[in-house]
């Protein structure tokens, strides 16, 4: 255990090996951590647990350091199995221990463990004194589950924010002032883009609410990655920025291809963007990590997506990506479609319509060419890129 504030300890797990999360949905190039916290006040309070595969290691440490029987209450800020997975193992030892959680939290715990434990339902503004410290609760619904809760430790000026403000990142240090800031922000924005961006309107309101409380905050301790100790409000301000049609001004050109005709078009479109001074990044979707692609799309101002037509539709990697774009509900992005074909040529319109349905501002009619594009057709792709740049920035 590591003391992060007087009598408050990090008692989590560093999962250096983790490379896929949420099954195989999300890539975690730098591992992750499952941050659980223990408060040794007049009452001994465990806040969140760790992922089920680590339950024995977690419980052994708690037994050695504090004694599981001495835990007086458990706060479950969020019951997704990466944080709540070990709850059943701990509760099998101390089954009468009160669990403080939201109403939704209790319902989900019952669905996961099929137990009716001693639930103490909390709402925003509720508090409980544990001795020197007081725990104050703030509901965080859909940030990112219906049960999500934030616990403020009054007296320690400590925010235990669970998933909010976290990162899938497992460096050697626990604190933001002791890690590579560039890596930290790469992981923080990737986390936001992939996990939180669908809930952006709620996040904006919740961040406004947290800022309006004007609480003294020395430290924000999420349940993944590092603890924000140096200038902790920096990540709250970043979330506010990310929740407001955030972009970094560039365009992402994505393609999938069978014989490189669509790739040639992608490169020519990029040439057109560059001629108008718009930076771009270009990705072959079928060989690029999808979590990284979604991060790039979140950061981009525009997305130009292409596929050849096969079996009257788009290639499968583009079909999957279009669904992801719809699900992530990106705000304020511009888009367009392009493609190549041999005979039927449906891909361009499928992409065009999917982008519109996903709320992307489609600012160009789709462009496509038959088989390998000629020099004249590639010149039209350059022009397409130039026109996209002009329209996006007008």
Catalytic positions, please? Answer: 22, 78, 80, 82, 144, 163, 191, 224
Distance between CA atoms of residues 275 and 382, nearest Å: 9
Cα-based distances in Å from 129 to 36, 134, 136, 350? 20, 4, 9, 58
> Could you say whether residue 83 binds ligand FEO (CB under 6 A)?
yes
Spell out, one character per residue from 297 to 336, where the chain touches ligand FEO: x when CB under 6 A holds, - when not: ----------------------------------------
> Could you say whether residue 80 binds ligand FEO (CB under 6 A)?
yes
Spell out, one character per residue from 219 to 238, where the chain touches ligand FEO: x when CB under 6 A holds, - when not: ----xx--------------
Q: Enumerate residues 6+ apart whose C-beta is below 8 A from 281.
A: 250, 251, 252, 253, 296, 300
Which of 185-224 are b and which e, b meaning 16 or more Cβ less than 10 Å from the residue's Cβ? ebbbbbbbbbbbbbbbebbeebbeebeeeeeebebbbbbb
Q: Are 330 and 300 in contact (CB under 8 A)?
A: no
Spell out, one character per residue from 49 to 78, where the chain touches ligand FEO: x when CB under 6 A holds, - when not: -----------------------------x
> Could you say whether residue 191 binds ligand FEO (CB under 6 A)?
no
Distance between CA atoms of residues 99 and 96, nearest Å: 9
> Could you say whether residue 82 binds ligand FEO (CB under 6 A)?
yes
Q: Tell the smallest beta-carbon distance from residue 296 to ligand FEO (Å).
A: 22
Spell out, one character per residue from 119 to 148, where the chain touches ligand FEO: x when CB under 6 A holds, - when not: -------------------------xx---
Our CB check for ligand FEO shows the closer of 223 and 348 to be 223
Judged by CB under 6 A, the chain residues 143 through 182 that form the site for ligand FEO are 144-145, 163
Helices (H) and strands (E) in the chain, counts: 12, 23
Our CB check for ligand FEO shows the closer of 143 and 318 to be 143
Distance between CA atoms of residues 94 and 72, nearest Å: 9
- Chain residues binding ligand FEO by CB under 6 A are 78, 80, 82-83, 144-145, 163, 223-224
């Amino acid at each position: 255990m590591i003391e992060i504030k007087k009598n408050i300890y990090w008692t989590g797990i560093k999962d250096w090996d983790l490379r896929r999360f949420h099954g195989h949905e999300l890539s975690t190039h730098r591992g992750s951590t499952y941050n659980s916290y223990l408060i040794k006040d007049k009452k001994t309070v465990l806040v969140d647990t760790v992922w089920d595969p680590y339950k024995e290691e977690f419980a052994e440490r708690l037994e050695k350091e504090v004694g599981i029987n001495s835990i007086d209450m458990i706060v479950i800020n969020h019951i997704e199995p990466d944080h709540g997975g070990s709850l059943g193992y701990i509760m099998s030892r101390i089954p009468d221990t009160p669990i403080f959680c939201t109403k939704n939290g209790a319902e989900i715990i019952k669905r996961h463990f099929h137990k009716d434990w001693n639930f103490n339902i909390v709402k925003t503004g509720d508090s409980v004194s544990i001795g020197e410290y007081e725990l104050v609760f703030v509901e965080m619904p859909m940030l990112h589950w219906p049960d999500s809760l934030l616990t403020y430790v009054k007296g320690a000026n400590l925010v235990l924010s669970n998933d909010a403000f976290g990162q899938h990142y497992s460096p050697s240090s626990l604190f933001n002032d002791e890690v590579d800031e560039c890596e930290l922000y790469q992981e923080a924005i990737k986390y936001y883009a992939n996990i939180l961006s669908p809930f952006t309107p709620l996040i904006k309101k919740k961040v406004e609410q947290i800022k309006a409380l004007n609480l003294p905050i020395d430290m924000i301790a999420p349940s993944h990655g590092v603890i924000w100790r140096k200038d902790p409000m920096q990540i709250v301000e970043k979330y506010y920025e990310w929740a407001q049609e955030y972009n970094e001004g560039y365009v992402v050109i994505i393609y999938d291809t069978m014989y490189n005709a669509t790739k040639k078009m992608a490169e020519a479109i990029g040439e057109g963007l560059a001629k108008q001074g718009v930076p771009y990044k270009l990705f072959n979707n079928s060989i690029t990590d999808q979590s990284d692609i979604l991060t790039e799309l979140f950061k981009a101002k525009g997305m130009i997506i292409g596929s050849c037509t096969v079996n009257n539709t788009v290639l499968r990697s583009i079909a999957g990506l279009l669904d992801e774009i719809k699900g992530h509900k990106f705000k304020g992005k511009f888009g367009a479609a392009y493609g190549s074909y041999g005979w039927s040529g449906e891909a361009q319109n499928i992409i065009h319509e999917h982008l519109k349905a996903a709320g992307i501002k489609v600012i160009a009619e789709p462009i496509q060419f038959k088989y390998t594009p000629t020099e004249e057709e590639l010149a039209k792709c350059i022009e397409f890129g130039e026109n996209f740049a002009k329209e996006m920035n007008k």
